[in-house]
Structure 1
Amino acid sequence: MSAPSLAATVSRRPWLKKLFTPLANWYVNAAGYRQLGLRADDLLPEENDVVQLALKRLPPKEAYDRVFRMRRAFQCSMSHTLLPKEEWTKDEEDTPYLSQIIQQIEAEMKEREDLEAMVVTRRKAAQ
């Protein structure tokens, strides 16, 4: 399942958001995945069953783009180079595309679990 996040708590408090924004920007730039043309959701481990199911639910165009980004990043990694600066993933392009599907699948799984655990009892007939 997905990891817990404090993002909602931080974004609801303007002073915390102002405090953490420079740190978050530094961390994203230090991670280096944007310099390889990747997006944040490309870094999610695929070994999880939920992620595998989410990848199957991706629209064909998004799935193709993801494979292209991964192959290009792998090629850059093997040649020990970075993409030209104009091909780096920009801040506005780095939007979640897989996380939303994963959350939807986790909600479906929880609902299914709750329905399977439900105990149905019969009412006694009124006399």
Structure 2
Amino acid sequence: MSAYPSLAPFVMKRPWLRNMLKPVANWYSNAAGYRQLGLRADDLILEEDEQVLKALKRLPPQEAYDRVYRLRRAVQCSVTAKILPKEQWTKPEEDTPYLKPLIEQLKAEEKEKEDLDSLTIIKNH
């Protein structure tokens, strides 16, 4: 994951800013091209991080199958240098996070475990 802070929470708390930036975000997502290959944004998360691998193991079976299908279909498109027909592109409303919430949950669990492991008990006499 990224080591730099995200502006997303700041933007999401301000509806006027979110409404102003949403068309730009949609344009960027479409320009990035992953939707034309039938992918969702979370499909692009690299599987090199231990937390990502753990999150993938927590995916419901259908979601895991759908992810593998989308990735294989995108690889096939890449190999043949073609994009999917427009009706098979990922629609913006379908491009919802499914892996990031699990990664955030794992990070929170890890932080809680670290906090508990470093807990110091002081006895009062």
State whether residues 26 and 92 of structure 2, in contact with CA within 8 Å, keep that contact through their aligned partners in structure 1. no
Distance (whole Å) between structure 1 residues aligned to residue 13 and residue 99 of structure 2? 23
Identity %: 63
The answer for the alignment partner of 1:19 in structure 2 is 20
Given residue 40 of structure 1, which amino acid in structure 2 is its aligned partner?
A: A
**Larger Cα-atom Rg:** 1
The answer for the alignment partner of 1:33 in structure 2 is 34
The answer for the alignment partner of 2:49 in structure 1 is 48
The answer for the alignment partner of 1:63 in structure 2 is 64
In the TM superposition, residue 2 of structure 1 has moved relative to its aligned partner by: 5.1
TM-score by length of 2: 0.93
The answer for the alignment partner of 1:74 in structure 2 is 75
Given residue 87 of structure 2, which amino acid in structure 1 is its aligned partner?
A: E
Deviations 1:86-115 (A, max 9, x none): 000011111111111111110000000000
Deviations 1:8-63 (A, max 9, x none): 21122233223312211111011100000000100011100000000001111110
Q: Does 9-18 or 115-124 show the bigger shift? A: 9-18
TM-score by length of 1: 0.91
The SS at the match of 1:19 is: helix
Given residue 8 of structure 1, which amino acid in structure 2 is its aligned partner?
A: P
Structure 2 residues without counterparts, runs of 5 or longer = none
Distance (whole Å) between structure 2 residues aligned to residue 31 and residue 51 of structure 1? 22
Q: Does 16-25 or 89-98 show the bigger shift? A: 16-25
The SS at the match of 1:96 is: coil
Distance (whole Å) between structure 2 residues aligned to residue 94 and residue 22 of structure 1? 15
The SS at the match of 2:67 is: helix
